[in-house]
Chains A and B, each alone.
Chain A
Amino acid sequence: MEFKTLVFYFLSAILLFAALRVITARNPVHAALFLILSFFSAGCIWALLRAEFLAIAIVLIYVGAVMVLFLFVVMMLNINVDRLREGFWRYLPLGALVGILMVLEMAFILGGDYFSKLQPHAPQMAAGYSNAKAVGRLIYTDFVYPFELASVVLLVAIVAAIAIAYRGPKKTKYTPPGKQLRVHADDRLRVLKMQAEKDE
């Protein structure tokens, strides 16, 4: 067996184990951490497939930013595990249905003609070939309109999130920073010169 194949199976084993633990871990913080581990191992597998830009992007964006905020929220939740488990049997049929649908969809793609055409190995590129540069060139030439459209959608989402969270102007008292910066020590502090007192 080639060494690369061995690495692939090792990473895949970690990925599958972590993904399984995401849905079986009882503690939500542990589940979120396993999700982070599975993202990281997915990134490693992508790096193995010579998609280094994609691999670094998932670590930078999902592991480094999105999941941190996610973990933040999960850590501050006070989840009652017993209450969550009450609905298990009631929701099982719905969950099983969705699960079976997903398996079917994956079977169509992975088993079909489509995937076997994708299967051949990624083309061998020259040593100086830059993945990031190639992606950037495509984004800003061939796919510039979809890319700009996606960025506008994201911008709208940012504005919407702020609009939802904004509860009107702050009612607490606070000093404007500009005013704070203009203060000098002379305005507030008076240094007195005193003669030293002596015992006569």
Chain B
Amino acid sequence: MNALLQALQGFFGADLWTLIWTVVKIFIILIPLLLAVAYLTLAERKIIGWMQVRIGPNRVGWWGILQPIIDGVKLVLKEVVIPSGASKGLFLIAPMLAFAPALAAWAVIPFTDTLVLANIDASLLYIMAITSMGVYGIAIAGWSSNSKYAFLGSLRSVAQIISYELAMGFALMAVVMVSNSLNLVDIVNAQNKGLFAGAGLTFLSWNWLPLLPMFVVYLVSGVAETNRAPFDMAEGESELVAGFHVEYSGMAFAVFFLAEYANMILISALVSLLFLGGWLSPVGFLPDGILWLFAKMSCILLFFLWIRATFPRYRYDQVMRLGWKVFIPVCLIWITVVGVWMISPLSIWK
């Protein structure tokens, strides 16, 4: 393998080869990600179906296994209708602006301590910056559609996303404080130390236990950030038809859909890395590895689907109250507590 890589490097020249190899690595991340997005939609329909004592999709392929593919084909074949009076350029750019940040954030997500596309120093800051841009896709989609329903949906959605971004940022700050780094690899490695990790019970030294309030805040804010039920005010079928993407059809609509699911997978990866020890094995006698990361992500994605099947939709003022009056004060208090804890003799992070 290494000999082959070196031969190719010699053939293309060092600079060009770096470019080609990086693009290849990007594809190695993106293609499984897009497949995961497609099959997450099937998993959602199947799992919610079972929870509601239904069967779920079972017509296309064995066990409905080809359903996402056929859905994609259907959406590609449909016409993208551009409403009259819409701002045409922005109308078409909006889905891309929603989808691109969800993919760009994966550049710094580490899968193991060496398997990462760009191990940059401030990777957590990069993720915060890139994901905060996803909101433009929704805002522009609502405005450029020139429709009242779409505009109201996008206003709700944007207000909700920027409110919960604050709580998420505070939760991340607590993680940064205890791991003393902005680098995701270092943050995961910092969770492998401590009293419990020494005793072989690594899962008790992960951040979720000492930062339990932050973990809950981050997880719930993650659901709110991705506009998922029970926080899917932006869609609110009963009052807003479908929210910000009501005027979109065909592939343009599908891209919004993909963005939502890609964001869900991204949030699940972040929760796994920041609070659940990433690729670390939960007990000392089993080896660490990428499979642990995937297992943790799957559990969190199941949680996302589970709460969608369980809870009724929040009222809008309740959503805002939870964000501003519950989560942000909890975060501020816990950051102070962690700060005092860290400089006290009882600190567990030395």
Binding site for B on A (CB under 8 A): 3, 27, 29-30, 33, 36, 52-53, 56-57, 59-60, 63-65, 68-69, 71-72, 75, 128-132, 177
Closest Cβ–Cβ distance, residue A135 to chain B (whole Å): 10
Please indicate the chain A residues that have their CB under 8 angstroms from the CB of B158 in the complex.
Answer: 68, 72
Contact call A29/B143, Cβ cutoff below 8 A: yes
List CB contacts (< 8 Å) of B157-207 with chain A.
Answer: 158, 162, 165, 182
List CB contacts (< 8 Å) of B114-143 with chain A.
Answer: 120-122, 125-126, 128-130, 132-133, 135-136, 139-140, 143
Closest Cβ–Cβ distance, residue A29 to chain B (whole Å): 6
Say what secondary structure dominates the interface of chain B: helix
Separation of A167 and B346 alpha carbons in the complex (Å) = 47
B319 at interface (Cβ–Cβ under 8 A)?
no
Partner of B133, one of A64, A75, A128: A64
Contact call B129/A56, Cβ cutoff below 8 A: yes
- A72 and B125 in contact (CB under 8 A), knowing A3-B15, A60-B132? no
Separation of A52 and B15 alpha carbons in the complex (Å) = 23
B155 at interface (Cβ–Cβ under 8 A)?
yes
Separation of A67 and B44 alpha carbons in the complex (Å) = 35
B65 at interface (Cβ–Cβ under 8 A)?
no
Please indicate the chain B residues that have their CB under 8 angstroms from the CB of A64 in the complex.
Answer: 128-129, 132-133, 135, 165
Contact call A132/B125, Cβ cutoff below 8 A: yes
18 residue pairs bridging A and B, Cβ less than 8 Å apart: A30-B90, A33-B140, A52-B121, A52-B122, A60-B125, A60-B128, A63-B133, A64-B132, A64-B165, A65-B165, A68-B139, A71-B139, A72-B139, A72-B155, A75-B151, A131-B121, A132-B121, A132-B125
Please indicate the chain A residues that have their CB under 8 angstroms from the CB of B125 in the complex.
Answer: 53, 56-57, 60, 132
With a 10 A CB-CB cut-off, give which of B125, B130, B135, B158 has the most chain A CB atoms. B125
Contact call A56/B133, Cβ cutoff below 8 A: no
Q: Kindly report which residue of chain A lies nearest to residue B183, judged by CB atoms.
A: A130
Interface string of B3-18 (1 = CB under 8 A from A): 0000000000001000
Binding site for A on B (CB under 8 A): 15, 87, 90, 120-122, 125-126, 128-130, 132-133, 135-136, 139-140, 143, 151, 155, 158, 162, 165, 182, 318, 321
- A130 and B132 in contact (CB under 8 A), knowing A3-B15, A68-B162, A75-B143? no
Please indicate the chain B residues that have their CB under 8 angstroms from the CB of A132 in the complex.
Answer: 121-122, 125, 182
Q: Kindly report which residue of chain B lies nearest to residue A72, judged by CB atoms.
A: B158
Contact call B122/A177, Cβ cutoff below 8 A: no
Q: Kindly report which residue of chain B lies nearest to residue A180, judged by CB atoms.
A: B318
Please indicate the chain B residues that have their CB under 8 angstroms from the CB of A59 in the complex.
Answer: 129-130, 132-133
